[in-house]
């Protein structure tokens, strides 16, 4: 069983790799681009909302991480907004890849900051047993949401 920080890091790596693959698609591989983007859209949305409901929820009311929590939530909002904008554009539109590049840059910055500052704050606030329980909750909620998405499709 992985703790919540290991699960978040795994998600970050999976999404970054998928985004790099997506960026390398060409106009000759538009269906691959569309499929990959839809997968990333689902996975990143699941990650962001589940992270907010587990880790960020655990930060609420803890004064020492209040500012960090607000910054992280704002970054999530920006990522969600960019994903929404991309999802409304045809993948062959000339501004699509440049917008994707900006999304990737923001995601890398956010994930990097999270893996340093947020992870350290988390280790300072919670013991390994709590981190493992949060990891269990993270996986459970993410799987529940994935099931809801599949039912809605």
Please provide the DSSP assignment of 23-35 as one string.
Answer: HT--GGGHHHHHH
φ and ψ of 93, to 5 deg:
-70, 140
CATH number of the domain within which 118 lies: 1.20.120
Please check whether residue 65 is in contact with residue 58, taking contact to mean a CB–CB distance below 8 angstroms. no
Reported residue count of the chain is 153
What domain count does the chain have? Answer: 1
Examine the pLDDT at 153 and tell me if it is beyond 80: no
Q: How confident is the model at residue 142 (pLDDT cuts 50, 70, 90)?
A: very high
How many angstroms separate the CA atoms of 8 and 114, rounded? Answer: 9
How many angstroms separate the CA atoms of 127 and 123, rounded? Answer: 7
SS3 82: helix
How many angstroms separate the CA atoms of 90 and 96, rounded? Answer: 7
pLDDT 10s digits, 21-75? 998 998 889 999 999 999 999 999 999 999 999 999 999 999 999 999 999 999 9
Residue range 134-140: mean pLDDT, rounded? 97
How many angstroms separate the CA atoms of 78 and 61, rounded? Answer: 23
79 lies in which domain range? 4-152
């Amino acid at each position: 069983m992985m703790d919540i920080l290991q699960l978040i890091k795994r998600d970050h790596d999976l999404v970054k790799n998928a985004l790099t693959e997506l960026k390398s698609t060409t106009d000759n591989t538009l269906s691959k681009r569309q499929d990959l983007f839809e997968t990333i859209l689902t996975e990143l949305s699941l990650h962001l909302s589940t992270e907010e409901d587990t880790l960020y929820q655990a930060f609420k009311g803890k004064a020492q991480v209040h500012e960090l929590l607000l910054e992280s939530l704002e970054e999530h909002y920006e990522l969600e907004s960019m994903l929404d904008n991309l999802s409304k554009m045809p993948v062959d539109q000339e501004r699509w890849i440049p917008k994707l590049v900006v999304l990737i840059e923001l995601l890398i910055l956010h994930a990097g900051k999270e893996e340093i500052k947020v992870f350290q704050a988390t280790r300072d606030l919670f013991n390994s047993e709590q981190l493992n329980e949060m990891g269990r909750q993270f996986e459970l909620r993410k799987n529940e949401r994935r099931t809801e998405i599949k039912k809605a499709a």
